[in-house]
Amino acid sequence: MNERYIILFDGVCNLCNGSVNFILARDPREIFLFSPVQSAFAQELLARHGLQGIGNDSFVLVKDSQCYLRSDAALQISREMSGVWPWLYGLRFVPKPLRDFVYNLVARHRYRLFGRKQSCMVPTPALKRRFIVDGR
């Protein structure tokens, strides 16, 4: 396996955790690794890419040494998933300000709409190798 991409997500957000589970189920090539944005690893990775000001309200994809944020991250992720999901990549033709407006609207209200956990999700032993928390 040559390619591994890292997804940074809000580890206490129910919507984000649901998205991670959704991606895991549609990633048979196991190219995605995950890290809660609250982890030291994620904060170091964001700083390395000059994104230390990014809050936990943005899904971040690090792919081929490039960072994708918000709707761009979601579209890049969808293009790598199995099934019909790569078709969503066609939404890249929707103007980015409009895509990110919708993304930001959901992100701003995600806790109220979907709830939150008291702590970051703990992956099952079978999935633990797909998560990076402390650089491993």
Q: Which pLDDT tens digit goes with each residue over 9-51?
A: 988 888 888 899 999 999 999 999 999 998 889 999 999 999 9
Whole-number mean pLDDT of the chain? Answer: 87
pLDDT at 98: 96
- Contacts of residue 47, defined as CB under 8 A and 6 or more positions apart, other chains included, come to none
Of the pLDDT bands very low, low, confident and very high (cuts 50, 70, 90), residue 1 is very low
- Cα-based angle 7, 13, 17 (whole degrees, multiple of 5): 50
Pair 89, 33: CB distance under 8 Å: no
Q: What is the residue extent of each domain of the chain?
A: 5-130
For a pLDDT cut of 90, what percent of the chain falls above it? 53
